Amino acid sequence: MRNRRPDAPTIKTPAEMDAMRAAGRLARSVLAAMGRMIAPGVTTLELEAEAQRLTAAAGARGAFYQYRVGAKVYPYYLCTSVNDCVVHGFPAERPLAEGDIISIDYGCELNGFIGDTAWTWPVGEVSETAQHLLRVTREALYVGIEAAQAGRRVFDIGRAVQNHCESNGCGVVRALVGHGIGRRMHEPPQVPNYAAPETVRDRLRPGMTICIEPMVTAGDWRVYEPEDRWDVLTVDGSLAAHFEHCIAIGEDGPEILTLPEEI
């Protein structure tokens, strides 16, 4: 999600929370199927075709497909971001190669509610730099989730993610953030992966549903978006990783809605 100020968050009813769980489970099952397909020689268009098939078979729709930002309209079900592409990479004919890393972001709408999740995989054997980046970013996701306690603030999530990543030598992207989610893909509040001062005022309340999604680089944290394109790239060409869960803020702690946790 592009960084812009939110309005008030929505609080889900128990029935709405059940619908969010169902959408989250479907999103996760489709993403897990993508992970099982990843291998050298597979194209991201092949992943896209299978995601479309699975989504239709479940009676759902792709939440990213035809998503509009200004004059741009996203034309695929998946975001497939390889190596130095942080997010929003288009599926393409280029085969995955040994040593690549690939982030896949997938969202679906099921019975009026959205599930959204992302994961980054190695393609075959990858470098120590890539292994380190994947480990730190995955850990940062769960550090952020642990910080998402009722009564605390969105600021606490970003600070926890940033501290973990930077203490392990990785960069935290500022231009893109997590977000609230529900009947719409992007609802308030924004959930930065860094200690954004403006998020001190955003308190976490039971019934909120948010996406925590560290977007992390092996080098410079700055990114750029080529003109008239969707993909977001690291300025220095360093590797980037992206892990995302949709969670609910509960009285007794955060609940991961995009299960299973590990895929």
Domain boundaries, the chain: 14-256
Report DSSP state, residue 8. Answer: P
pLDDT tens by residue, 31-87: 999 999 999 999 999 999 999 999 999 999 999 999 999 889 999 999 999 999 999
What's the pLDDT tens digit per position in 97-155?
999 999 999 999 999 999 999 999 999 999 999 999 999 999 999 999 999 999 999 99
Q: pLDDT class for 262, splitting at 50, 70, 90?
A: confident
The confidence band for 2, taking pLDDT boundaries of 50, 70 and 90, is very low
Q: Domain 14-256 is of which CATH architecture?
A: Alpha-Beta Complex (3.90)
pTM of the model: 0.95
User: How many other CB atoms sit within 10 Å of the CB of residue 194?
Assistant: 20
Partners of 4 in the beta sheet? Answer: none
End-to-end CA gap in the chain: 23
- In sequence order, the 6+-apart residues with CB closer than 8 A to the CB of 183 are 10, 112, 113, 114
Three-class SS string for 102-143?
EEEEEEEEECCEEEEEEEEEECCCCCHHHHHHHHHHHHHHHH
Question: Residue 250 corresponds to which tokens in the numbers above?
Answer: 């509960």
